Structures are given as structure tokens and as C-alpha cells.
Amino acid sequence: MNDVTVSKDGQHLEVETTAGRLRFHAIWLRDNASDAGTRSLQNGQRLITLQDIPQDTRIGAVALSDHTLTVGFQPEDKTITYDIDWLVQNAYDRPLPARAGWVAEGIETWDHHLMDAVPSAQYGDVASSPRALRAWLSRFARYGFAKLSGGPVHDQALMGIVDWFGHVRETNYGRHFEVRTEVNPTNLAFTGLGLQAHTDNPYRDPVPTLQLLYCLESSAAGGENMVVDGFAVARRLQEENPDWFDVLSRHCARFEYAGADDVLLQSRRPMIELAPDGELIAVRFNNRSAAAITDVPFDEMALYYQAYRRMGDIIDDPAMEVSFRLNPGDSFLVDNTRVLHARKGYSGSGTRWLQGCYADKDALLSKLAVLRAQHPEAAQ
């Protein structure tokens, strides 16, 4: 059934695979050769630049077996063998998604129904088993947040969690910050006020991609946490009115933090961020640190504010939220580029004390990829 044909000019070939007929360009194939002259055997890094490959590279002879495709390149007179499975996995011969706002494979958007299956695990299990860590990180990657219960209750216990997958991202708030009522708070988070669902530090560029909040005390009434899937919010907004989605993704908002004398952080980024091909990649939303919006043309400002208001309505809709109460030793990790977090106000007798810190999602995803390679048989 397998066959391969080369275009007359040798600029591309077409090969029959389990995923259908796929086309590949000569220059793409040559650039992605994995022979010892092209890639280091030690670390897999490419040894040559594109300039080392002749501009007039073309396909000469080809040969197909069950699992490999062998291609001869001219004018180099170089022969390279490709694994067909690798070609299928890396194929690009497909149409672009028709509509902006699509999400990457492996991401599942959610609303309050996820209350029945909140991604969570026991601290002790994850601390002692790479398989449990893999499963917890997997759920985090799919849903953009995950809880942990039953952890130790001591100062900076949250650092133990970050150590499982990466490094703390230090900011002007410190390596970690205390989330409790303070007399002269540098941030409204350090009061008993309720906080509308938000992403943290949108005034930073890049934003911290992970936030961890870890509970040490929670005897005060109130203070429950909520999380909302910003990607689900953006897609609902788009379904309700594509113009709202477009206006928030095509124009930059501005964010600013000047809550302490020695800091003046400012950013200019959209509330809904898309990749050039329309992939939904980030949401920024924070009523406390939104600055004057000055990058929306006059004629679109009224529409922009309609869209911004509606985005807030959707964020505040209980149908979108998953809520829980953190007890001492409980924590949750959020993907701060996607999932918004909130807390109810608290007051009266008793205490509420969380410690928070930031870290990097790329390191977490790297750890997950390594665990997946090491434990391929584990569920998820």
C-alpha cells in the first residue's frame, strides 16, 4: 500500500502513510535530517545552520520500506533515512484551523461541572511516587490547575512542591509572599477583602506562568477559593459575540502596579492573547491592576468596554467556577496564563494565612514530558 512520489522539480515528495497521503518539502526534510553530520549524537542539537544547506536542495532518489523513507538530496549527494512514525508525528500538510480561539491538544476547557472531579492528589503520594507526580502534573496540564491535600504545615512548606518540578521565580514580592491581613498592605491580596477572579501580576512581562498558594492557617470564617478557566471564558465570550472576542484579542490593555515606593511595573498586552495562527495562548484579567486603556481606537472603545464588562460577567458567573476551602496543609497550583483564581472575603475572629510563590510552567511541562517518557505505561 505504501508509495512515494517526487514532484518533477524535486522540491517536494508525497508519501502514503497510516495518516493518509502527506507532502513534505525537500528543504524541510533536509533541515530535519538526524544523521551524525546534522545533529550531535550526544545532545541532539543541530550542528549546522540553514546556510550550510544549499538553497537549491532537491530530492533525487527515494526508497520506501514498511517503517522508513530514504531520501537522496542533490546537489549534496547526501542520503538520509527517516522513520515514518516520526514523519507522521511531525507532518504539517493540513489546513489551518478555520477560526481563532482554538486550544492546544491535551487542553480541556471546563466549567463548574469540574466540581465533581477537581484535579487533586494527596501530598504524601505525590512526594513519594514519580507515577503519582506524573498523574498530578498531567491533570494540571490538562485543566490548568490542581490541588494538593494533606501537606506539612510549616513555614515555606510550599517550596517542597516547587522542588518537584522546577524553581521559584523571585519577584519584588520576594521568593515567597505572605497572604494574610497586614496593617499597611502593599497589595489588596494582603487584606481580608474578597478578590474577583484574576490572573496574577499581569503588569509583568512575561507574567509568572505558575502560581502556588499554600495554606498554613484557616480558622477565620470565609476566605474560600475559586478558580475559573480563562480559556472557557474566552470561548464563551466568542460564542456569545465574536466581535467581543476579536476586540479583546486585537487590542492591548495596559496594566500597572505601583503599590510600593520602589516599584513601577507596567505592561501592554491583550486580555485575550492569540498566537499568529489563532491559538488561544493566554488570558490576562485583573481589576485591581488594570491601567487606563489607551491602545483602542476611539471608534472601538465603546465595543471594547462592552466586551470587557461581559468578560467580567462570565468570570463572575457561578456556572463557570470551581470552589474549595483550603485547610492547613492544602494548596493549589494554577497556570497563571490560563486559570483565574479568586477568594471570598473574610473577617472576624480566627486567622487565615497562606504563603504564595511563582514558578515557571515550561519547567513543569519539561518534568512532565520526562516522566511520561520514563513511565509510559502509567495511566494518563
Binding site for ligand OGA (CB under 6 A): 179, 189, 195, 200, 213, 225, 341, 343, 354, 356
In the complex, the smallest distance separating the C-beta of residue 238 from Zn ion, rounded to whole angstroms, is 25
Instruction: Report DSSP state, residue 19.
Output: T
Burial class (CB in 10 A: 0-12, 13-18, 19+), 18: exposed
Antiparallel, parallel or unpaired: β 120-122 and 145-149: parallel
CB of 54 to ligand OGA, least distance (A): 54
Cβ-based nearer residue to ligand OGA, 57 or 225:
225
Closest distance between ligand OGA and the C-beta of residue 211, in Å?
7
Q: Distance (Å, rounded) from C-alpha 345 to C-alpha 190?
A: 11
Residue 179 binding target from Zn ion, ligand OGA, none, CB below 5 to 8 Å by type: ligand OGA
| Phi, psi at 285, each rounded to 5° | -155, 120
Closer of 200 and 246 to Zn ion (Cβ): 200
Tell me how many residues contact Zn ion (CB under 5 A).
1
Phi, psi of 130 (to 5 degrees): -60, -30
Most distant CA atoms of the chain, gap in Å: 81
Q: Which residues pair with 334 in a beta bridge?
A: 145, 211
Q: Which residues 6+ apart lie within 8 Å of 375 measured at CB?
A: 130, 131, 134
Closest separation between CB of residue 334 and Zn ion, Å? 9
Segment lying near Zn ion (by CB under 5 A), choices 200-208, 271-279, 303-311, 364-372? 200-208
Pick one of ligand OGA, Zn ion, none as the site partner of residue 192 (Cβ within 5 to 8 A by kind).
none
Q: How far is the CB of 277 from ligand OGA (least distance, A)?
A: 32
Stretches 90-98, 197-205, 250-258, 327-335: which one binds Zn ion (CB under 5 A)?
Answer: 197-205
Q: By beta-carbon distance, which residue lies closest to Zn ion? A: 200
Burial class of 319 by CB neighbour count within 10 A (0 to 12, 13 to 18, 19+): exposed
Q: Which is nearer to Zn ion, 37 or 174 (CB)?
A: 174
Vertex 330 angle, CA 324 and 332, to 5°? 65
Q: Is 361 helix (H, G, I), strand (E, B) or coil?
A: helix
Which residue number, 57 or 201, has a Cβ lying nearer to Zn ion? 201
Return the number of the residue (32 or 191) whose C-beta is nearest ligand OGA.
191
Of 318, 73, 342, the C-alpha closest to 199 is 342
User: 356 touches which of Zn ion, ligand OGA, none (CB within 5 to 8 A by kind)?
Assistant: ligand OGA
Shortest spacing between CB 266 and ligand OGA, in angstroms? 19
* From the list ligand OGA, Zn ion, none, partner contacted by residue 151 (C-beta under 5 to 8 A by kind): none
Shorter beta-carbon distance to Zn ion: residue 200 or 335: 200
CB of 224 to ligand OGA, least distance (A): 8
Residue number with CB closer to ligand OGA (96 or 183): 183
CA dist 265 and 202 (Å) reads 9
| Shortest distance, position 152 Cβ to ligand OGA, whole Å | 19
Q: Output the DSSP codes for 167-223.
A: -EE-BTTBSSEEES--SS-SSGGGSS--EEEE-S-TTSSSPPSEEEEEEEEE-SEE-
Q: How far apart are CA 99 and CA 144, in angstroms?
A: 23
Can you count the helices (H) and strands (E) in the chain? 9, 23
Instruction: Kindly indicate which of the ranges 136-144, 155-163, 195-203, 262-270 contains the residues binding Zn ion, using the contact rule CB under 5 A.
Output: 195-203
**Cβ at position 64, least distance to Zn ion in Å:** 55
Q: Which is nearer to Zn ion, 101 or 223 (CB)?
A: 223
213 binds, among ligand OGA, Zn ion, none (CB under 5 to 8 A by kind): ligand OGA
**Residue 200 in the binding site for Zn ion (CB under 5 A):** yes
Could you tell me if 53 and 38 are in contact, meaning their C-beta atoms sit under 8 angstroms apart?
A: no
Provide Rg for the chain, Cα atoms: 25
> Residue 292 carries which DSSP code?
-
CA atoms of 102 and 277, how far apart (whole Å): 9
From residue 343 to residue 372, the character string flagging contacts with Zn ion as x (rule: CB under 5 A) and all else as - is ------------------------------
Distance CA 29, CA 112 (A): 46
Residues that bind Zn ion in the complex, under the rule CB under 5 A: 200
